[in-house]
Every structure is written in C-alpha cells, then in structure tokens.
Amino acid sequence: MSPLSLTIFLLSIFFEVVLIWRLGQNRLWKHYRWLLAYVVYTLVVMDLGAFVVYHLFPGLYPAWYWDSESLSMGLRFCVLWEIFRHTFAHVGSLNKVVSKGLATGSSIPILLSGFAFWSVLFYISHDRLHYLYPALERSFGLVQAFLLAGILVAARYYRVRLGRNVWGIAIGFGAFVSASTILFSLVNLSESFAPYMQVLSPLSFVSMLAVWTWALWVYAPNPAVGMNKTAAESAALVWWESWTDTLASIKRTRNT
C-alpha cells in the first residue's frame, strides 16, 4: 500500500468513526438510521474487514473486495431513501407524487444502464470478470445520480427547503456517485485510467464522508414546508397531469 493510499484509508476510517460518534452523541441515529447502517457497514466490512483479510488471508482478498463493494452499491439506495423520506416527509401527497415521477422518469436510465451492464457481461470472458465491477458501478451510479437529481429538482419545484443535515447528505452523496460514475466509465473505455481511478474514487468517498461529518455535526432538520397541504396537493396534481400529458403526446407522435 502506497503512502497516499494509506493516508486515504486512514482518513476514511477517521471520518467514519467521527461520524458514527456524532450520530450517537447527538442521538441523530434515531433520525438517520439508514445512513448510519451504510456508514457502519463501510467501516466494519469494507475498511476494517478488508484490512484484516488483506493481511491474514491474502488469497481471499479479491473475492472479499468485489463482493463487499457490490453490496455497498446496493446499500447506497438506503442513502437515497434517507434523503427522499426526510425531504418529503411532511406532506404525504408530495411523497406519493414524487415517488411516481421518479419511478417513471428513472425507467430510461435504468433500461440504458441494464443494457450496458448485460452487454459487458455477455462479451467478457471468465478470466476477465474483474471488468464486471466497473460496469456494475457505472450502471448503479448512473441510476443513483439520476434519482438524486430528481429528488432535488422536485424539492426545488415544490419549494421544499432543505436543512443542513439533508442538504449535506445529498451534496456529498451526489458528488461521490457522479465522480464514481465518470471514473468507472473512463476505465471501461481505457485501462490507462485505472491508476487514476484507484486514487480518485476513494478520495471522492473520503470527501463525501467529510461533508457528511460537517452536515451531521448538529441536528438541523428541514425547515417547515412553505406551503400548506392543500396547496402542495394542488401543485403535485398539476405537475403529474402535465407529465402524463407529455407522455401521451410522445406516444401519439410515435404512432403517427
């Protein structure tokens, strides 16, 4: 392990420990359970567990690394859920409408990501399965970045103000998944980008942890929603009807 990699590794552990401590010290874990689960998993399995396996069972390390990283990609949806539920928790109608909008709008990037992933899986040979992870990372990252952007755009559209906690979680997470998607896309294009990815990807993760630590140092929830429930329902209905009309127009244009 190079001095730079060791420094990034130690910084990752430092921020994870401090973040878990602050979540416990301020009893924030009651509000951000899913985020806590993701951070604890990262500390115990991906950092400390990987360190032990690397030094005591080096032959098992590659499988441990890929499996833990793959599970981590799935757990990132827990962070997205944390952002979503805190953003639209005060108005149930917005929660339902934005959920439908994200489900409909995310179908395109999900289909494209799935096609790209299975294309890579089909063409690689068994001795090159390590290329599967960059494709998986890129596909998951694209969908997660799109969903986060949808949540933030919907929050701005409905004038939902974000507090320090949720805003910091969203900004840190968005920067990380965007950087990961770009880096692993470059690796899929050319292996020459792999050395840069091995440094920049964990560095972006540490940056996310630093932003989260700042954001969650104190409990600062979202301010009260600026519109009442009736107004929110009316705005949500107008948005959903316009989206439905847009889809219908696209279908009519395609059929002509």
Q: Indicate which CATH number applies to the domain containing 232.
A: 1.20.1070
CB of 61 closer than 8 Å to CB of 54: yes
Residue 92: the pLDDT is 52
Q: According to the model, what pLDDT value does residue 91 have?
A: 54
What is the reported pLDDT for 111? Answer: 46
Kindly give the confidence (pLDDT) of every residue in the chain, 256 residues in length, as a single tens digit, with 9 standing for 90 and above.
Answer: 778 888 999 999 999 999 999 999 888 888 999 999 999 999 999 999 999 998 899 888 888 888 888 888 889 988 998 998 888 765 554 445 445 444 444 444 444 444 444 444 444 433 444 556 777 788 788 888 888 988 888 888 878 888 999 999 999 999 999 998 888 888 777 777 778 888 899 999 999 999 999 999 999 988 876 544 444 455 555 545 554 555 555 555 545 5
| Distance set, CA 199 to CA 7, 35, 180, 183, 204 (Å) | 11, 24, 11, 10, 9
Going by C-beta distance under 8 Å and a sequence separation of 6 or more, which residues neighbour residue 3?
A: none
φ and ψ at residue 222, rounded to 5 degrees = -65, 140
Comparing C-alpha atoms, which of 158, 170, 169, 149 is closest to residue 105?
Answer: 149
Distances (CA, A) of 200 to 18, 203, 204, 214, 223: 22, 5, 6, 21, 35
Give the chain's domain count: 1
Tokens 């799109």 map to which residue?
146
For the whole model, what pTM was predicted? 0.76
Which tokens hold the place of 123? 């063409």
CB 160 within 8 A of CB 225: yes
The residue range of the domain holding 184 is 3-255
pLDDT digits over 25-58, tens only? 888 888 999 999 999 999 999 999 999 998 899 8
**Any residues with CB less than 8 A from the CB of 175 and at least 6 apart, and which?**
204, 207, 208, 211
